[in-house]
Structure 1
């Protein structure tokens, strides 16, 4: 590999990953000269999540493209949906076909090499070079052509480790030194058009070979397409010049230095003192995954003092883009539901003064399990796993679990109607939710309670990402529902806002809860809203909840299962071979958001020794469900 602009530390400010500086050969230095312009190409889907990132990326491309020092040429969003979308007139776009149905096995990233194969074959590209980029790249400053003829430019990822995976890589790269496989992905990469045309078909083939090899699929996981590009390049004898200053990835890179791109793939969470909380929801935070169904609002709260300049610059650049992109305000969700700030502080859970399980087992009544859902693949696979575990524990001793309903707020049926008991309700009228799809949850419950025949006297409001660890008794007591206390719900700290909706009565009447998990009598269900709104609505109806800390656990924050009944896998789990890496992707990783376009594969790799029992149990339960649910491999 050829390393250029190599800092003292390789990787995410990790002093344990130091590499020696490898200078470019002297003859290469002499051969350097003026570089031609490059075309910026980003592969994309037609989802709201992809669209808003592309709009911000394109805004900053236009801002820096013609500044001194730039070799940036044209721009193309390579849309692998097979059809145009509503951004065609706003961003230069080229439509290509997705892979044939089922070929990607739910791993949508496999469409990336296929998209480049088609685009290079069919499009007219004036520039001799191409920058392969991603929607979550923001240009900090004008980008020169870092490539040199037959030597493309790439960014070295610390977690792409060919030498450590040599035995597996040899299945796809049987001959030649393993050092020929660069520690890179396909993005960001600046490469000649002619060279990319040669590599792209091989990149596609190797990607499919890895996906269809169970061992490689499990080992490489979500970075398998990155390994595929590195292997394909080696098969063509292509070596990359590695530029550590190509981009920064907050929060792990804390200094901008001379970098050209911000890659905002990781969530950023901090205390108000500027201390990173490593994937645990902090007092201030920004995470692109909060905006899967709609774009972030304008004017996000800036980070507190002490937060690294990479994070501050990221939020400022997002804010500038959203302030200047025409029509952005019509796409944003309500500000109160935007990225979080000082109203989501982390502190110890408040326990009830009374024994929360007092009376459990005496004159208990069964409850109906209800989960609101959409027809997205992301919702479907979670519902299938949840329903599997509901059936596994429902009739065991100690259970008060009754029937089950997936409340589908689509207005029409879907493919899971026969597999999972479902009840179809209408979504909110178009535009009412302002893109915040969760607002359909209370409306779904209003309709379901009004129209459905529910035999049980109590209801458990669950979510698709809830797994039943053991039989669940009815934790509610008459008019007092049972709920789980969320550490980031602070009614007292938000009293000024809450008083707009709850003007009379003690603020202590507003419980620190959301709408799920909650076990509540049917007759107690008044007007439902979500999260804070549910807590306020309950207070308006004079309803107080029994707070059960053992209702559920949330790995990786909660380490021990203890006597808990539910695993809620809302957070990503990342570990190296020794410890939790706090949202920093390393040796082992599981995050439900990695499977937004299709279900996880069977037989996921278990966590390394030392990972908490909550994470180990989660993976074991997911694996059991995917092994037993009929037809899982066809999804």
Structure 2
């Protein structure tokens, strides 16, 4: 494959039904059968037939449990950024992964900028990514509080004010994600407004205590456990959200309001104890502090992250314990960095939009997968230890000055380059050999964000830069590494997708 054609779309494995061991739809079952045919047990699978599949609990999904969508491309994917160089390389990476994943529908970058930032930004470097530029909402008009994560609800509200998406469903991602497999409403049996899906975030303790009772007292506590414990007034979801367009229009203004309210609430500050009692299973999905803290620290608001004491509406926030479960708000007067997440779930509850949480689709690199990973969220540092040689680690915040507009020549071999390519991880062949498929899958997934970023960067440079020997050489190396990883991950995705089915036959 030539360097002008970096990468290819990965075949999609079967997905998993809510609370069941088998794939959701006829198309998914066909994908699972295809994956199984290339597994270690093809003969057993061919001979087993439907009776054994039923005995394994792998029954077809019929009737009210599953409805085929009217339009498989009925999803509009959006992600939120500021307008810095730091956001640009992440934008390239996400857009590239979106194309490779086969995600249906369009992709839009929603970019929050001040007037000065918008003038300084170089839009020509990212002309391949549709972008909506929104004002900066980082300083709340109502309270004067500075919190970069206000940009998320504010910019989505602005986008919906100026744009009417044709697609019924909106997939909301973070810039520091790569999309590995499509996320569609049929994957989660979403068929109508009022229902949504998000990643599991059990550390949002405030949905079940006085925090929710204070901010949304009119919401009747839930009796189900679809996205949190019974008795909650809002759902414990975050990370990515798949929500109906009409619901998002109702949620967006409330999202900003409740984010401001929670930031101003002296009862919202968390304590270390609130997270210390959490389960290890949660950590496999998402570090407790990561999502809420990223926007603030990425925007250079480190002083605010350290101090966290701000006057709000003339009242100094004085308490710092009890209700939010925020590990970054440990000291008296700290404001919760989880406020934006609470803003969303409180707004959704107020709008009568309820979620099912997903425990498998999203993962931080280095954590143990629970199933097929659709989204990798590389928001915190992780490490890979090869069989020989030094450990490799990556922290996206080390590359906040990375400039995607600079063409070769580049200085290579730097630990923290500011142009060219990101420091590559070990080759898949250099990893420690694991007998357990989940360990192998975890290790391979840890390589994927940076290899995807470098593949995206190469595609970008091949478009904007003059041909050169260095560009051809380094991008050939990138392509070889990306394809080698893709080959291994395609097989592992299939094994993980049909894991319950295959393990049944392995034990038979």
TM-score interval (norm. to shorter): 0.5 to 0.7
Question: Deviation of residue 251 (structure 1)?
Answer: 1.4
CA radius of gyration, larger in: 1
Deviation by residue 1:57-109 (Cα, 9 ceiling, x = unmatched): 111212233xxxx4x21111111114543236232111111227454623101
Question: Deviation of residue 237 (structure 1)?
Answer: 1.6
CA contact (8 A) 2:247 2:351 kept: no
TM-score w.r.t. the length of structure 1 is 0.43
> Larger strand proportion, structure 1 or 2?
1
Q: Does residue 266 of structure 1 match 2:380?
A: yes
Q: Does residue 196 of structure 1 match 2:248?
A: yes
223, 232, 235: which one aligns with 1:182: 235
Question: Deviation of residue 136 (structure 1)?
Answer: 0.9
Q: Superposition pairs for residues 160-559 of structure 1, below 5 Å?
A: 160-162=204-206, 166-175=209-218, 176-177=220-221, 178-185=231-238, 187-217=239-269, 218=320, 219=324, 220=326, 221-254=336-369, 257-273=371-387, 283-294=391-402, 297-298=420-421, 300-303=423-426, 305-306=431-432, 308-326=443-461
Aligned to 1:112: 152
Q: Aligned partners of 1:114 and 1:299: how far apart in 2?
A: 32
CA contact (8 A) 1:157 1:184 kept: yes
Question: Structure 1 residues 7, 135: closer, same or farther in 2, change over 3 A?
Answer: farther
Q: Superposition pairs for residues 21-36 of structure 1, below 5 Å?
A: 28-31=64-67, 33-35=69-71
> Larger helix proportion, structure 1 or 2?
2
Question: Structure 1 residues 46, 287: closer, same or farther in 2, change over 3 A?
Answer: same
Question: Structure 1 residues 329, 75: closer, same or farther in 2, change over 3 A?
Answer: closer
Question: Deviation of residue 4 (structure 1)?
Answer: 5.5
Question: Deviation of residue 49 (structure 1)?
Answer: 1.6
TM-score w.r.t. the length of structure 2 is 0.53
Q: Which moved more, 1:41-50 or 1:307-316?
A: 307-316
- More relative contact order in 1 or in 2 (CA 8 Å, sep 6+)? 2
CA contact (8 A) 2:360 2:369 kept: no
Question: Deviation of residue 56 (structure 1)?
Answer: 0.8
Aligned to 2:109: 77
Aligned to 2:331: none
Q: Does residue 148 of structure 1 match 2:191?
A: yes
Deviation by residue 1:119-141 (Cα, 9 ceiling, x = unmatched): 11111322121111111111112
For 1:96, what is the secondary structure of its paired residue?
Answer: strand
Q: Aligned partners of 2:215 and 2:251: how far apart in 1?
A: 14
Question: Structure 1 residues 144, 321: closer, same or farther in 2, change over 3 A?
Answer: same
CA RMSD of aligned residues (A): 3.2
Aligned to 2:502: none
Question: Structure 1 residues 6, 225: closer, same or farther in 2, change over 3 A?
Answer: farther
Q: Aligned partners of 1:328 and 1:239: how far apart in 2?
A: 43
In the alignment of these two chains, the number of paired residues is 299
For 1:302, what is the secondary structure of its paired residue?
Answer: coil
Question: Structure 1 residues 143, 102: closer, same or farther in 2, change over 3 A?
Answer: closer
Deviation by residue 1:539-580 (Cα, 9 ceiling, x = unmatched): xxxxxxxxxxxxxxxxxxxxxxxxxxxxxxxxxxxxxxxxxx
CA contact (8 A) 1:298 1:319 kept: yes
Question: Structure 1 residues 172, 300: closer, same or farther in 2, change over 3 A?
Answer: same
Question: Structure 1 residues 26, 199: closer, same or farther in 2, change over 3 A?
Answer: farther
Aligned to 1:51: 88
Deviation by residue 1:269-304 (Cα, 9 ceiling, x = unmatched): 2444599xxxxxx83111111111215642633235
For 2:342, what is the secondary structure of its paired residue?
Answer: helix
Q: Aligned partners of 2:352 and 2:463: how far apart in 1?
A: 45
